[in-house]
Chains A and B, each alone.
Chain A
């Protein structure tokens, strides 16, 4: 039987993403047997990060100061704007190392089943940016599930205006995988979106 304090700690850790009950117990037992200064440092670091991190008022990214580093970077291509669903998606696009434009976080996707409508997302903020920034192309980089796709089509229609190109990232096979592992939809879209090689 664990003491109450440890049980409470396990319950808190088990709420974290990717942490199951066994991992939560392991972390809690480790922490209560660790040197107090180290535990204090961990607690302070978590509180400090939570306190400092905010959403960029321009793009919606996670940042310590607003506007964020990407919005403030004059070397980035201001004519290119990539729309992502969540702030963490910016990290995925940045890791690819191929996008040099700016970002806009939508904050979710339209989900009629869950009652998420366009007004619940940062679409009005996006339209304001289009009015004030020299954006010439929007790259929609949302998920490819039914609601992600429907949101992409909705945005393409709503944002359409002269002088603005609206594109979306390509569908296709993951790098390093064979055709036998591809699902029918991905494969049919990859075929539809095929490109001339030479």
Chain B
């Protein structure tokens, strides 16, 4: 049986000397894994078309025995080139992936989470890395997961709570226009760290490095 979807590559790992295992996030099938046979050979039709955070149309043979399907074809849509040129952006994208992997099941439709990550990566390629972008992603994803901190007794200062509401609800660019003070960044960052720790049992990997990089990239000294 074959399937087709549009998806984002979340991970690309060598399987053999010539093949890759690709982890995708698709709307219809959620997180799924495919083997791209021969993808590491220069003559392969997959060569140069599958890498981290690439957006592509894919078709695959469904495996009856395992969760590892076989990739048949890939049509590249977007490579997100800005992620290649800036480690702070790549760290944010990697953290977003870690968060999604921790908070979602595999092979379960995730259309809203897919759209969220797709829009986040597009925004990340247009805008420099910033704490606002990281917080906006966290707040929007928490809402998708039904864990909206806005409904909870946050204990945040009124200004910070308002910022959190805008970052969660408004378009990406609207949230990024907000100027957070150092104290507000620290307050919201600590609050979300605690919230994630409580509701996801542990903070997704890479948050500290992603936030530090985003704060550094956002600092006026740069």
Report whether chain A binds chain B: yes
Residues of A within 8 A of B (CB): 17-18, 20, 110-113, 115, 117, 145-147, 149-151, 153-154, 174, 177, 181-186
- Let me know if B49 and A183 touch, CB within 8 A: yes
A76 to B81, CA, bound (A): 36
- Let me know if B51 and A112 touch, CB within 8 A: no
Query: Does B94 make an interface contact (CB < 8 A)?
Result: yes
Query: Does B195 make an interface contact (CB < 8 A)?
Result: no
Residues on A with C-beta less than 8 A from B68 are none
- Let me know if B90 and A112 touch, CB within 8 A: yes
The interface on chain B, measured as residues whose beta carbon lies within 8 A of the other chain's beta carbons, has a size of 31
Which residues of B in the span 87-105 have a Cβ within 8 Å of any Cβ on A? 87, 90-91, 93-95, 97-98
Residue from B16, B81, B206 within 8 A of A112 (CB atoms): B206
Query: Does B181 make an interface contact (CB < 8 A)?
Result: no
- Let me know if A181 and B43 touch, CB within 8 A: yes
- A150-B43 contact in complex given A112-B95, A115-B206, C-beta closer than 8 Å: no
- Let me know if B48 and A149 touch, CB within 8 A: no
- A115-B205 contact in complex given A18-B17, A145-B52, A183-B48, C-beta closer than 8 Å: yes
- Let me know if B85 and A112 touch, CB within 8 A: no
Residues on A with C-beta less than 8 A from B43 are 181
Residue from B16, B48, B84, B97 within 8 A of A113 (CB atoms): B97
- A sample of 29 cross-chain residue pairs with beta-carbon separation below 8 angstroms, ordered by A number, consists of A110-B87, A112-B87, A112-B91, A112-B93, A112-B95, A112-B206, A113-B52, A113-B94, A113-B98, A145-B12, A146-B51, A146-B83, A147-B52, A147-B90, A149-B84, A150-B83, A150-B85, A150-B87, A150-B90, A174-B42, A177-B42, A183-B48, A183-B49, A184-B48, A184-B76, A184-B79, A185-B48, A185-B79, A185-B81
Chain B minimum-CB-distance residue to A151:
B87
A177 to B47, CA, bound (A): 13
The 4 closest A-B pairs by CB, nearest first: A183-B48, A112-B94, A149-B84, A146-B52
